A = this chain, B = another copy of it.
Amino acid sequence: MPKTEIQNRNPDHLQAAKSAILVIGGAEDKVYGKEILSSFFQFSGGNEAVIGIIPSASREPSLIGERYYRIFADMGAQKIKVLDIRDRDQASAQEHLDFIEGCTGIFLTGGDQLRLCALLADTPVIKRILARVRAKEIALAGTSAGAAVMGYQMIAGGSSGECPNRDLVDLDFGLGIIPGVLVDQHFYNRNRLARLLSAISAFPQLLGIGIDEDTCAMFSDDDRITVLGKGTLTILDAQAITHTNYPQVTASEPIKIHNLKLHLLSHGDVYDWQKRQLVN
């Protein structure tokens, strides 16, 4: 959809927030309205945007890097660079650090979240990106695997078709970009509610966030999450649960959780994730 239309649909949040982290559930629209990618482009400065694309989650980094390069070029970004980091040495390269210093937005593509973490965790490149994101100097977006790495705790894999149980989900360490959240993506598309329930029982203090394809949880600098895109944002709030059998439960036994709060949010909904309540 044209930029003006997006602004008409979401005038408040797009203008109020100065910086944002866009956590995208994968398969975001790249052809038609491109609502989510356009929002990232706007947060990165629009025609003045200097965007770095990190395709390291993918096994075809050239191909996927090029695809996003084209999209942001077509939108009119001032400068774009694919930071094609394929080993940990490259995640210290001065040329990348120099680019990050001058950029206004960083985009993490999809692929394999374990690969992305293996290449980036604790490297100068990700440390500098994190520092600039936390200083609210740049926008950040991650889609699919790039969304999965947002928390300190990460869902690395798992399956479906079973009741919530410890074997249903593989947990690992993420990049810790947004502390306090546990993200899953391709959410209803791949029937992942049972695995997020399993994961959140292990970390009930974290906010569970399940993001559908072509859907975005936009974290802005006022502690708010605004939903963009076509699908559902599912929030699991385990802060007030009265009982769980985790961690005593054995690997394949059903996990018990009593009194979990669940929200189904979609386009335009706003949630305060520090106060843990709906804003509108």
Which A residues contact B (CB, under 8 angstroms)?
A: 160-164, 187-191, 193-194, 197, 212, 230-232, 242-243, 253-267, 269, 278
Q: Assess whether B257 is in contact with A264, with CB atoms less than 8 Å apart.
A: yes
Residues of B within 8 A of A258 (CB): 263-265, 278
Residues of B within 8 A of A242 (CB): 278
How many copies of the chain does the oligomer comprise?
2
Question: What residue of chain B has the Cβ atom nearest to residue A257's Cβ?
Answer: B264
Q: Assess whether B254 is in contact with A263, with CB atoms less than 8 Å apart.
A: no
Could you list 14 further interchain pairs (A-B, Cβ under 8 angstroms) beyond the known A160-B191, A164-B264, A254-B266?
Answer: A161-B190, A163-B232, A164-B232, A193-B193, A232-B254, A243-B278, A254-B264, A254-B267, A257-B263, A259-B261, A259-B278, A260-B264, A261-B261, A262-B262
Residues of B within 8 A of A163 (CB): 187-188, 212, 231-232, 264, 266
Residues of B within 8 A of A260 (CB): 261-264
Q: Assess whether A259 is in contact with B264, with CB atoms less than 8 Å apart.
A: no
**Residue in A257, A264, A278 with the greatest tally of chain B CB atoms within 10 Å:** A264
Tell me the smallest distance from the CB of A218 to a CB of chain B, in Å. Answer: 16
Q: What is the bound-complex CA distance between A267 and B163, given in angstroms?
A: 13
Q: List 5 A-B contacts (CB under 8 A).
A: A161-B188, A197-B264, A230-B254, A254-B264, A258-B265
